[in-house]
Structure 1
């Protein structure tokens, strides 16, 4: 399947010393970190074979201590390090090197990719329903036969309860200066994000606002879901954060999302279903399924053409009115998929068939 991501370039580094910690004599570096196979990009099932190279005055280093992101992981001039122990993403490896009781420090960066190719899922459209074209969909979830939808844009942001057929039954309106983002339900409380305001809102099931919360770190709010214990938040990058609503929204852990080739950036609306975190990739008709423990991309669903061109109305902005909104009905196993200001809502079923099922 085609990859529809915007990536940063994975640096094929350069396992060398940093400018402030490396020392040179006669223009040559004394000590550096080197992989014995001269690699800097690895897969999660690889083992890194690292060593300290270089010398000073013709003498190699006496000893070394290894650290990853500041945490000690081993000692010696050689280190065999399973990538699995580091996890996915970019990692900074630091060594403190001693020679004749003098200490030197050198660093290197490596990238760990997933060790599996994502499975390609097909989709089948079960039904279509009308959708409010004034709703700039930012979040969507299903509960007891109804949909809860969070909408965005300043002056248009709402949280609404609707029927599957799109009828608005109840609505809460955000202040005009707030750009609404994702929303989810956890323990009979609805949590809704804002985009740039570094705060979110809490409602009861009647959409009555009962409180607010501050973001614990300076990130943007994009998508929001829950695994039944933590809130799971995306910020438009390849990072997913797990927040504890019982402890002042403390970030308890962060994962980096990678497939077997790249980091998957622009993660947007989220839906946690049976141990898989589904995510829209912003501006693309594309959904990925993520392992919430490791960040591996487990599956990919190409939804290009889900909204046919004939459904575009006058003023439809195909560059901004994109797929966004994933809700799961546990009773049927079906998903409801929406888009920003789309005229239609789609009830779909995913399958492992090799090609797209009939629409």
Structure 2
């Protein structure tokens, strides 16, 4: 009996000690309804403390930076992490939550005028399209069909072409300082070529994003989509994804961002399996405009909303016009964008 009571006392003591050492359950609260707020709004931060723990110090952070209890929502849109470092007695407790920041105005709506129609190879599953030094470059996808090519856009003649390894599904491309950067879909690999010779110069691996979809550049950095609302900024020396924006409107995120093009300081993005192109502010992710290309799809005999979709945006600075096509389309359209 004595032995039983002794063992029981040890076990009970362990349980009591374990309970006593448990830290209180804390989380960050905001004054925003359902934790959704708007750019420019001020949100009040507070601590949810259901156990009534004694609190000595609270330090709030958002996106890794110290903030006050009154958080003015400037800067980037999208999902923001909220963290409170709480000192309770001798314990330091990390409380977390998140906040969605929407744009403060709805996107402008645009349509288009067709200036010219050119032939396009109907076997090309277009993934990337870009002008460089007056010539059009294209990346095409599908396993066993992926290519990199230079094309005479007026005639459709293929001027230079290489085929990728059958294990690669090619995606977007961009050209910077005589180097072509081409993404692959799920192989975690980007390929670098000499723009003049198409000689393979090397590869790079994706850092934080899981897939390769679209690619463009601003003359210094690369911008990469991954099939979500995220657009990552790539350092061309290390290829680390040093930063990102999230594409949001005044009502929510725009996901499935695909082919990208840099146009006069904005990022134009196809939305996969959609007839619209989003115009995105590269500083904060605000979707400032949407171009409705629904009418152009009616000019494509094999258009399909889930396969041969609109995909391919190329801005020609020499003509100051936009060129658009799609996967396996037989036409390339030169268009002028018009505000509705």
In the superposition, the TM-score normalised over structure 2's length comes to: 0.86
- Contact 2:274–2:305 (Cα < 8 Å) also in 1: no
Question: Where in structure 1 are there 5+ consecutive unaligned residues?
Answer: 1-20, 25-30, 355-359
| Residue in structure 2 matched with residue 23 of structure 1 by the alignment | 24
- Contact 1:160–1:207 (Cα < 8 Å) also in 2: no
Matched, 1:312 2:293: no
Matched, 1:334 2:325: no
| Residue in structure 2 matched with residue 221 of structure 1 by the alignment | 212
Q: Work out which of the residue numbers 62, 66, 70 in structure 2 matches 1:72.
A: 66
**CA drift at 1:173:** 1.1
- Contact 1:152–1:158 (Cα < 8 Å) also in 2: yes
Structure 1 residues 206, 52: closer, same or farther in 2, change over 3 A?
closer
Distance across 2 between alignment mates of 1:350 and 1:133: 25
CA-based RMSD: 2.2
- Contact 1:152–1:180 (Cα < 8 Å) also in 2: yes
Larger deviation, residues 197-206 vs 175-184: 197-206
Larger deviation, residues 106-115 vs 279-288: 106-115
Distance across 2 between alignment mates of 1:238 and 1:201: 23
| Residue in structure 1 matched with residue 15 of structure 2 by the alignment | none
| Residue in structure 2 matched with residue 287 of structure 1 by the alignment | 277
Q: Work out which of the residue numbers 226, 233, 238 in structure 2 matches 1:242.
A: 233
Distance across 1 between alignment mates of 2:102 and 2:275: 24
| Residue in structure 1 matched with residue 243 of structure 2 by the alignment | 253
Distance across 2 between alignment mates of 1:62 and 1:230: 44
3-state secondary structure, aligned to 1:48? strand
Q: Which has the larger radius of gyration?
A: 2
Distance across 1 between alignment mates of 2:82 and 2:152: 53
Distance across 2 between alignment mates of 1:123 and 1:336: 11
Q: After the TM superposition, which residues 1-359 of structure 1 pair with which residues of structure 2 at under 5 Å, given as runs? A: 23=24, 32-36=27-31, 38-54=33-49, 61-74=55-68, 79-84=69-74, 87-100=76-89, 103-164=92-153, 165-217=155-207, 219-245=210-236, 247-308=237-298, 311-313=300-302, 317-352=304-339, 354=340
**CA drift at 1:172:** 1.2
- Contact 1:35–1:48 (Cα < 8 Å) also in 2: yes
Compare the two structures and name the one with the higher helix fraction.
2
Distance across 1 between alignment mates of 2:67 and 2:108: 34
Residues 321-341 of structure 1: per-residue CA shift (max 9 Å, x gap): 000000111122111101000
Distance across 1 between alignment mates of 2:162 and 2:79: 41
- Contact 1:181–1:223 (Cα < 8 Å) also in 2: yes
Distance across 2 between alignment mates of 1:193 and 1:32: 40
3-state secondary structure, aligned to 2:74? helix
Distance across 2 between alignment mates of 1:89 and 1:125: 34
- Contact 1:22–1:106 (Cα < 8 Å) also in 2: no
Distance across 1 between alignment mates of 2:126 and 2:107: 27
Residues 294-345 of structure 1: per-residue CA shift (max 9 Å, x gap): 1111111011121326x415xx654200000001111221111010000111
